[in-house]
Amino acid sequence: MKPTVISTFAGCGGSSLGYRMAGFHELLAVEWDQNAVDTFRLNFPDVPVYHGDIAKLSGAECMRLAGIKKGQLDVLDGSPPCQGFSTAGKRKWDDPRNSLFKEYARLLSELQPKVFVMENVTGMVKGCMKQAYLTIIKTLRECGYKAKGEVLNAMYFNVPQSRERVIIIGVREDFGIEPSHPKPQTKPVTCRMAIGNIETDKEDLPFNPQTKIANVMRYLKEGKSDPSHQSHVKIPIDRPCPTLLKDFLGYMHFWHYSNFRPLTLLEWKRLASFPDDFQFTDKKEGCQRIGNSVPPNLMKAIAEHIKVNILEVARKT
C-alpha cells in the first residue's frame, strides 16, 4: 500500500510531484490561489482540492475530504507563505504572513499524522528571525512531535538551481523515532547540462528582448531608470542557476548564458526540475508558480528518505 500525504499550501504542485515520484498517494491538496489551483488541477486531475482559506478548514472537514481518521495519515506536508521571513524583505516577526504556520500547526494537532514536513526560507534561521524559528519549532513539538530542522540546498538533489530552504521534519512521539534528513545525493547540475539542448523559437520568449533593450536605452537617454527595477544577469554556464525569483520580473532578471535573450518557460521548468510536459496556464503565471514552488526533485529525495527511514521503520516496530 502506498504511503499517504496531504499537501497544504500546495501551490501548483511542486511538492506533490515530488511525493508522487517517491511513490506516495496524495489524498488532498489545500490551496487558496486561483491560478495555482487551476494549474494543480491540470496536472493532478485525480487529487481532491480544497480551494479556500486554510484558516477555515477544520481538521474534521480535512479528514472527511481525505477519507481518513485521526492518526491514519502518513505525512502532512506544508510550505506556509514565507515572504515575512525572507532576507529579501523587511523580516518582521509580526508580518501577518508569518502567522499562517499556526494554521498548519492547528491541522497537525487535529490530524495527528505519523510524520510532518514543513518547508520555509533560510531567512527564518538568520539574525533576528532565529527567535521566530525557535517559536515555530516549539509550537510544532507541542503538537506531539519530535521535530528537527535542517538547511538543504536543492542543487545537491538533482536540481540545476542553488536554492537553500529550511526543511523541518517531525515524527509523532509515540513512534520513538528521531527525525532525520536526506544527505546530499548528487553533484551540482550545471545550466548547460540542464538546458543546453533546447532549441528556442521567438514564440517561446516571454517578451521581445530587442524591444526590452530599446526601452532601457530610451529610459537612459531620458535620464530615467528602468521601471522594472531589474538588473539583467546571465545565468552561469557551468554552475547551477541562482535561486529563481517568484514573480514575472524573474523572467526579466535572468538571461540565457550564451544567447542574448530571456529564459523560456521550458528552461525555467528544467532549472527547477519540473518535467517538460508539466502544464501551466501561461508563461507569466508559470514563472510565478515555479519561483514559489519546492523543486520536485528536492521533495522526492525528502519523501523517499521519510518513506524508508521513518515510515518503514515505524511499521516494523
Distance CA 39, CA 299 (A): 19
pLDDT mean over 203-209: 65
Which residue in 12, 62, 82, 287 is the catalytic one?
82
Hey, what's the cell of 262? 530571456
Structure confidence at residue 86 (pLDDT): 46
pLDDT band of 99, cuts 50, 70, 90: confident
pLDDT mean over 195-209: 75
- ∠ CA 152-154-156, rounded to 5°: 90
Distance CA 26, CA 20 (A): 7
Structure confidence at residue 91 (pLDDT): 46
**Sign of the four-CA dihedral 194, 196, 197, 198:** positive
Q: Which residue has the cell 540546498?
A: 153
Q: For residue 143, indicate whether it is catalytic.
A: no
pLDDT in tens, 240-254: 999 997 765 555 678
Structure confidence at residue 253 (pLDDT): 75
Angle between helices 100-111 and 130-141 (to 10 degrees): 20
Distance CA 230, CA 237 (A): 21
pLDDT mean over 189-213: 79
- What are φ and ψ of residue 125, in 5° steps? -115, 15
Q: Are strands 164-172 and 115-121 parallel, antiparallel or unpaired?
A: antiparallel
**Residue 130 scores a pLDDT above 90:** no
For residues 293 and 93, the model is more confident at 293
Q: What is the mean pLDDT of the chain?
A: 87
Give yes or no for a contact between 5 and 28, defined as CB atoms under 8 angstroms apart.
no
pTM for this model (two decimals)? 0.89
Structure confidence at residue 89 (pLDDT): 46
pLDDT in tens, 134-183: 888 999 999 999 999 999 999 999 999 999 999 999 999 999 999 999 99
Residue 25: its H or E element: strand 25-31
Give yes or no for a contact between 177 and 313, defined as CB atoms under 8 angstroms apart.
yes
Structure confidence at residue 80 (pLDDT): 84
pLDDT in tens, 56-84: 999 999 999 999 999 999 999 998 875 54
Angle between helices 100-111 and 59-66 (to 10 degrees): 60
Give yes or no for a contact between 85 and 101, defined as CB atoms under 8 angstroms apart.
no
- What are φ and ψ of residue 167, in 5° steps? -115, 115
pLDDT in tens, 36-63: 999 999 999 999 999 999 999 999 999 9
**Residue 101 scores a pLDDT above 90:** no
Residue 183, C-beta contacts closer than 8 angstroms, at least 6 positions apart:
none
- Amino acid identity at 7: S
For residues 119 and 127, the model is more confident at 119
Indicate where the chain has its CATH 3.40.50.150 domain(s).
4-187+294-316
pLDDT band of 103, cuts 50, 70, 90: very high
- Cα Rg for the chain, rounded, in angstroms? 20
pLDDT mean over 194-215: 73
Closest residue by Cα to residue 207 from 185, 230, 183, 186 = 230
Structure confidence at residue 225 (pLDDT): 55
**Residue 218 scores a pLDDT above 90:** no
SS3 314: helix
Residues in the chain: 317
Phi/psi zone of residue 54: left (φ > 0), alpha (ψ -120 to 50 degrees), beta?
Answer: alpha
Distance CA 307, CA 314 (A): 10
* Partners of residue 31 on adjacent β-strands: 51
Closest residue by Cα to residue 310 from 141, 181, 139, 149 = 181
Structure confidence at residue 223 (pLDDT): 60
Closest residue by Cα to residue 173 from 142, 146, 148 = 146
CATH number of 4-187+294-316: 3.40.50.150
Structure confidence at residue 26 (pLDDT): 98
DSSP state of 161: B
